[in-house]
Structures are given as C-alpha cells and as structure tokens.
Amino acid sequence: MEKTIIIGSGPGGHTAAIYTARANLQPLMFEGFMAGGVAAGGQLTTTTEVENFPGFPKGIGGPELMMLMREQSVNNGCTIKTQTVDKVDLSVSGGPFKVFAGNDTYETHSLIIATGATARRMHVPNEEQLWQKGISACAVCDGGLPMFRNKPLVVIGGGDSAIEEATYLTKFASKVYLVHRRDELRASKAMQKRALENEKMEILWNTVMLDVAGEDVLTGVKLKNVKTDEEYTLEATGLFYAIGHIPNTEFLDGQLETDAQGYIVTKPGTSQTSVEGVFAAGDVQDKIYRQAITSAGSGCMAGLEAERYLAEKGIE
C-alpha cells in the first residue's frame, strides 16, 4: 500500500513529487510512456527554449528543464515508473484508491493527478517537421521569441482564446492573420470588437489551412478559401494553433467531477477534487493560465495538501 501515487510527469507532477518525497511519503510516480501523445515530462518536452520559467535568466531547453525536475524528484526519494496508467478505481471516498497500469494493480492512501492537457493540432502533412520551428500551440510561451518579431504571423482558431492569443501576438508581429473556416467567429462580442478594431490583425474568413511551407523553418502556410476554392500560400514566420486543448482525463472514466470540457474541477484556491484524498495539479485542472510555473505551483499545493491529509488521517 502506497502513501501517495502521482500520475503525470510535467512540472505539476514533479513538484508534487519533490514536496511529498521531502515529507518522507516515498511517492510513486507514473510518468507515462507517450501518454497523451507526448513523452514523459509533458508538454515542455515538445518545446525548445523556455525563457519564462523563473530562475533561468539565459533560458533553458524544455526537455532539459524536465530532466532536471525528474532528477530532483529521484534525488529526494521519489520512485518513477515509465508506464501509462490505464484506469483508476476511486470508488471508496477517502481511499484507499486503486491504480491500474499494464498488468499490475497498485493501492494508495492518496492520489495526485497531474496528467496535463494536450494542445489540439491540425496534423497537416508537413507539420511534424516544422513543429517548434515556427509552429507553436502557445502564444504566451513563444510569441516573444526573436524569430517572430516584426514578421507576419498566422493564428488558427475562432474562439475567445484565439482572439486573445492573436491580440497578444500583435505586440510583436508586423501583422497577425487569424484564419477561420467560417464567416463568423465563436468568440464573444467584446472579443470580436477587439479583433476588428486592431489595425495589425486581419481575419481571413471562410479559410482553411491545407499545409505548412518551409524547409528548416516555417516560411508560410498554404490556405484555401472554401467559398471560392482559391488556394494560395501566405508568407509567415509563425503559426500558432489556438483550437483548444484536450485535458487528459479519459482514464478517470467519470469518477471525478469535471467541467463540460473535461477539466478536473478543484475547490478554488486548492488542489482538492470531488473525491476526498484525490488531488489535482497542473493543466489537467487549469484552462486559464496553462504555464509551466503555474503548474509547478499547483503541484506544490497538491503535495502539501496530500501530506496534511495523510497526517490528519494518522497515516505516517
């Protein structure tokens, strides 16, 4: 019987691991094997340079930062299994809970879920080759990079967050094209007003992206107007997907309260889920901030709360 199991290995999972390990809880982490379509370490493993994680003034590679965190979890006494959890049994509120991975079943007094979210992509033919070489799913993370300054950029999407990201990018870009497949936006009226009034932004209506162009870095996107069937290549050094994220909560099979989009609902200002003894951290419960540092902060909260929960129950 474990004292605490952590599912997920991004900044949230590893910070929870560091805190619970230092509290002598001997945490067991399932870091996953290409879980949610990304390597162990989470979304940061799909980025190159991280410039906004505090403590690294020269920036640090995303995979490198996650290797450091993993080393820190292990140094402090966390055991890590490179397996993806298939399902869990949370039917006993207050635990113990069951975790199923491969052919094995594990039992634990407390559980921390930090399985993250996966950004939706279009999966056009040349996307993989140019990923992070001009293509990104996070304007706030990557928008300020030199390669995007005073250049034309493309945002794909039509919701509030697409407008928000496009507006953010107008700070840096010479021009931001918002590519939208319909002739109206899903975004709120206020957001639409911002988009239409912004001189640096142009909305390309009734337009879909067929592919990306470029050898070593992105140089443009291949577009098609679905009304006129016209196909053309638009010059751009940056392509930002803003077509949503998928929280990795399917394995929970509805055993925790989630919102309409599948994000785990936590009591605001805490990491507590709808089941006593189960805590959530990182992007799996955050659709607002989605940053490595906010994820790490919430991982710390989950670690401290799991520790206090176990102490209250007298589990040492």
- Which residues are at the interface with a copy of itself (CB under 8 A)? 11, 14-15, 18-19, 22-24, 51-57, 60, 65, 68-69, 71-72, 75-76, 140, 144, 164, 167-168, 171-172, 190, 194, 268-269, 289, 291, 293-301, 304, 307-308, 311-312, 314, 316
> Whose Cβ is closer to a copy of itself: residue 202's or residue 211's?
202
Burial class for 267, CB neighbours closer than 10 Å (0-12, 13-18, 19+): exposed
Nearer residue to a copy of itself within complex by CB, 136 or 207 = 136
Least distance (Å) between residue 190 CB and a copy of itself: 8
DSSP E strand stretches across the chain: 2-7, 28-30, 49-50, 60-61, 79-81, 87-89, 97-101, 104-113, 117-119, 135-136, 152-156, 175-179, 201-204, 207-213, 220-225, 231-235, 238-241, 245-247, 278-280
Beta-bridged to residue 127, according to DSSP, are none
By beta-carbon proximity to a copy of itself, the closer residue of 31 and 307 is 307
307 near 314, Cβ under 8 Å? Answer: no
Which residue intervals of the chain are DSSP H helices? 11-22, 62-75, 127-130, 139-142, 160-169, 189-197, 292-312
Please name the residue ranges forming H helices in 57-181: 62-75, 127-130, 139-142, 160-169
In the complex, the smallest distance separating the C-beta of residue 30 from a copy of itself, rounded to whole angstroms, is 18
Marked catalytic residue, from 78, 138, 283, 286: 138
Q: Which is nearer to a copy of itself, 31 or 164 (CB)?
A: 164
Question: Judged by CB, which is closer to a copy of itself: 214, or 299?
Answer: 299
Shortest approach of a copy of itself to residue 225 CB, angstroms? 29
Closest approach, Cβ 21 to a copy of itself, in A, equals 9
How many whole angstroms separate alpha carbon 14 and alpha carbon 71? 9
Instruction: Please enumerate in sequence order all residues whose Cβ is within 8 A of that of 292, keeping only pairs 6 or more positions apart, or say none.
Output: 10, 11, 44, 50, 52, 53, 65
- Minimal distance, residue 31 CB to a copy of itself, in Å: 15
Sorted by sequence, the CB contacts under 8 Å of residue 41 that are 6+ apart come out as: 9, 10, 31, 62, 63, 66, 67, 69, 70
**Closer Cβ to a copy of itself, 100 or 168, answer by number:** 168
Residue pair 9/29 in contact by the 8 Å Cβ criterion: yes
Residue 16 token pair: 């929870």
Q: Select which of 78, 141, 283, 286 is catalytic.
A: 141
Say whether 141 is catalytic. yes
CB of 69 to a copy of itself, least distance (A): 5
The answer to whether residue 78 is catalytic is no
**The one catalytic residue among 142, 216, 253, 259:** 142
Catalytic residues: 138, 141-142
